[in-house]
């Protein structure tokens, strides 16, 4: 449990100045490195002509981001704009049938984009899991659902299914596995909720409406069936106070984030530089640390933009979708580390919390995390990088509980109780700073490469020890202190809001 004491103003200002100064210093060197090496021979493939009028080239190393705003841009705009228009007409004319209208539009959109073979393939998987759900056996639903998911991730079943829909769309490689994987997770959610329902069963049409809601279809996020069904079944949905203002704000933030990323890619080549490890090794320890940090920040921004756009459309449809992932800057515990809150909510509800309970016992927690990351590994696709990523993050999640149990152990608890509240807070922040860098390092391999992760570890922990290691840890410690203070203030605001509601 965190310490709830507030930071003295002078200490707070000192931490902020140290953090801003360190980031500014490292960012300036990274900017100069990007500017001076934009024409480097090894950068030719991933640094392309950009803003000619200011003499800057653009980092295009992330094919997914570039794909969204070139090849796939028109499809996204056309499909989502059509959904918004269709949903608006439906809400004005027949709001009681809106779930049907959403599903029909989604089916025709998928049919037009991916073809009839793809649609038939997904319907076959949906029908299979629906039939299994009628037996009301959760273990059977898990077994069949994970088998269906494996058929899209493991050879030769995945090759046969992919060939079944070959040449139906230019972006088949991206949309095939996205839509298929999310479909299986949605079907499993439906099946498990159907098992939990005591009075009868949901119909196949309920699953049909749930799976083919277009904004969530290809890229998520996943809303569990119980939440989606309850929200989309409201006969006369009503807007909450200031809801439209919040929707416009979210849309504006998503557009602003796209612009910021575009500007960022013209001045910082954070994805291209790690591809040239010899050049990366020549950077200072400060710049290397910032480069590693920026890789995670960028991936969070990318997820926030994607889910922000989709969630804006969903909120226009009177849904309350999963929130965007928590900013990586505010993460210093593994329990809150996720880049897809929809998948995280799904795993927590049906696996992690179902097995681990209150997550206070070492044994059940270990089993829960192993089961959770086993499913996550299958979802991401079996690969040695995925295995290592899952193992490290599984260890990090369990290690946090072990440390917590150690802190509650009699002798250690007595030592902490003898400290002042300020010293206890600082000690916990120091552990949080070390944890923060574990989170960054563990996730670098999946976001960039294993070799880049090895380089960061070697430079920051070994060749940079003690000076660079301790200074970077201290700067991170300052950041964790600021995050903890922000969380404390937010908790106070939530308590005040709760008190006002009770008083009213």
pLDDT in tens, 327-362: 777 778 887 777 778 888 999 999 999 998 888 888
- The Cα–Cα gap between 116 and 120 comes to 6
Kind plus residue range of the DSSP H or E element containing 372: helix 362-380
β partners of residue 59: 47
Give me the percent of the chain exceeding a pLDDT of 70.
97
Kind plus residue range of the DSSP H or E element containing 48: strand 47-49
* Token pair 């759900």 in the structure block, residue: 133
Please tell me whether residue 461 adopts helix, strand or coil conformation.
helix
Confidence of residue 394 (pLDDT cuts 50, 70, 90): very high
Supply the pLDDT for residue 10: 85
Among 30-34, 175-179, 462-466, the range with the most confident prediction by mean pLDDT is: 30-34
**Number of helices (H), then strands (E), in the chain:** 22, 2
- The Cα–Cα gap between 281 and 456 comes to 9
Residues in Cβ contact with 97 at an 8 Å cutoff, skipping those fewer than 6 apart: 90
pLDDT for 391 beyond 80: yes
pLDDT for 398 beyond 70: yes
The end-to-end CA distance of the chain, in Å, is 31
Supply the pLDDT for residue 45: 87
pLDDT digits (tens, 9 = 90+) for 486-500: 888 888 888 888 887
Confidence of residue 5 (pLDDT cuts 50, 70, 90): low
Of 299, 268, 276, the residue nearest 45 (C-alpha) = 276
């Amino acid at each position: 449990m965190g310490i709830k004491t507030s930071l003295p103003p002078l200490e707070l200002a000192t931490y902020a100045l140290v953090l801003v100064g360190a980031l500014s210093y490292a960012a300036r060197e990274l900017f100069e490195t990007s500017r001076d090496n934009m024409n480097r021979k090894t950068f030719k493939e991933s640094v392309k002509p950009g803003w000619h009028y200011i003499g800057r080239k653009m980092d295009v190393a992330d094919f997914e981001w570039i794909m969204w705003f070139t090849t796939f841009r028109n499809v996204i705009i056309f499909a989502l704009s059509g959904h918004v228009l269709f949903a608006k007409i439906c809400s004005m004319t027949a709001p009681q049938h809106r779930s049907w209208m959403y599903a029909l539009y989604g089916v025709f959109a998928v049919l037009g984009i991916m073809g009839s073979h793809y649609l038939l393939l997904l319907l076959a998987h949906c029908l299979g899991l629906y039939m299994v759900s009628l037996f009301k056996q959760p273990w059977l639903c898990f077994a069949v659902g994970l088998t269906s998911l494996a058929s899209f991730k493991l050879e030769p079943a995945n090759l046969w299914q992919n060939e079944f829909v070959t040449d139906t769309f230019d972006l088949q490689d991206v949309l095939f596995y996205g839509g298929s994987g999310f479909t299986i997770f949605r079907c499993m959610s439906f099946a498990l909720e159907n098992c939990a329902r005591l009075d009868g069963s949901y119909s196949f049409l309920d699953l049909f409406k749930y799976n083919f809601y277009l904004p969530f279809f290809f890229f998520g996020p996943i809303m569990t069936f119980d939440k989606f069904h309850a929200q989309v079944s409201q006969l006369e949905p009503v807007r909450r106070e200031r809801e439209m203002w919040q929707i416009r704000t979210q849309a504006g933030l998503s557009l602003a984030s796209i612009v910021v990323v575009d500007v960022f890619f013209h001045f910082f080549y954070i994805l291209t530089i790690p591809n040239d490890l010899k050049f990366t090794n020549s950077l200072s320890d400060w710049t290397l640390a910032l480069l590693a940090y920026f890789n995670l920040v960028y991936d969070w921004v990318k997820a926030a933009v994607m889910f922000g756009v989709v969630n804006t459309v969903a909120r226009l449809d009177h849904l309350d979708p999963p929130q965007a992932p928590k900013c990586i800057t505010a993460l210093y515990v593994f329990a809150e580390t996720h880049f897809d809150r929809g998948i995280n909510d799904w795993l927590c509800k049906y696996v992690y919390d179902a097995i681990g309970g209150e997550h206070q016992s070492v044994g059940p927690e270990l089993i829960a995390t192993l089961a959770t990351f086993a499913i996550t590994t299958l979802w991401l696709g079996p690969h040695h990088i995925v295995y290592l990523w899952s193992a490290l993050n599984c260890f990090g999640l369990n290690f946090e509980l072990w440390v917590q149990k150690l802190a509650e152990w009699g002798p250690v608890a007595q030592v902490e109780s003898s400290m002042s509240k300020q010293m206890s807070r600082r000690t916990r922040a120091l552990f949080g700073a070390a944890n923060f860098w574990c989170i960054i390092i563990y996730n670098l391999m999946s976001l960039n490469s294993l070799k880049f992760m090895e380089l960061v570890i070697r430079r920051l922990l070994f060749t940079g020890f003690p000076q660079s290691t301790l200074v970077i840890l201290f700067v991170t410690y300052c950041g964790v202190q600021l995050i903890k203070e922000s969380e404390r203030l937010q908790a106070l605001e939530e308590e005040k809001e709760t008190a006002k509601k009770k008083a009213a």
